[in-house]
Amino acid sequence: MSERLGGRLDPASWGGPTVGVLGGLGPAATAVFLDVLVRATAADTDQDHLDLLVSQHSSTPDRTASILDPAAPDPGPVLARDAAMLARTGVEILVLPCNTAHHFVSEVEQAAARTGITFVNIVERTVATVSASLPDRSRPVAVLATAGTVHARVYQDALERTGLEALIPGPALQADLNTLIYEQVKANRPVDRDLYASCLERVAQLGAGAAVLGCTELSVIHDRFRSDPVEVEGLTVLDSLTELATATIRAAGKQVAADFR
């Protein structure tokens, strides 16, 4: 069967290792992830960049809805089937640029493990960077994410395993994060930079030494202001999508561009 009809990749025409991207969760975040991969890869020609197969499965059931409402559709089996689909093509690395979906990641990891595929985990990579870079480990790490990610303790558990304390936003701050995530980025509307800055300022006032952008819609905002970043004194901001992109580049045997920030 030809590649176009769903057969395996031809090693002679795909330089490899090829990366499979479980995308669409949400669509804008996947588009930014792909753009960051290109900008962050040390490359002089087209052929120096990563080979990718992208599943932009935007109709995957809502991850937060499933976590908060047991009656909501379960995205886990959908993610596992998509991972298996990419595995059948012969990809060697699998990535999932969505933090909330990592509540369901065991099914994806099992699908990857059955075929010997390397799964690059966005949560593990981000927490590892936080743990290595936090100047004062006595200060908590703010988790800025969807209510589903917070409820499922996706980042809290990972941070605590490294000996770090998680700071969880209160209801008012979470409501503002929800506005940024759902009413602005996911709704394809303009982003309120002042509101985003206010969220960072408030967690710094609460004593956080670092803030994890644990939602890829917040990563979209971070990337939009990358050339003119929102900075808060005393607060280190770690972007999960950037961490996933650089980890993916290295996993594929490439180098991160020296001038990428």
Return d(Cα 130, Cα 135) in angstroms, integer. 9
From the candidates 208, 215, 232, 249, which is the catalytic residue?
215
Neighbours of 34 (CB within 10 A): 18
Q: Which of 21, 32, 98, 218 is catalytic?
A: 98
Torsional sign, CA 141, 143, 149, 153 = positive
On whether the CB atoms of residues 198 and 176 are closer than 8 A, the answer is yes
Residues in the chain, total = 261
**Which helix or strand (DSSP H or E) is residue 38 part of?**
helix 27-40
For residue 34, give the nearest of 64, 59, 58, 55 by alpha carbon.
55
Q: At what angle do helices 154-161 and 122-133 cross, to 10 degrees?
A: 50
Q: Which residues are within 8 A (CB) of 255 and not within 5 positions of it... i.e. 6 or more apart? A: 41, 42, 249
> Are the CB atoms for 25 and 97 separated by under 8 Å?
yes
- Per the annotation, the verdict on 199 as an active-site residue is no
Q: Is 215 a catalytic residue?
A: yes
Which positions are annotated as active-site residues?
Answer: 98, 215
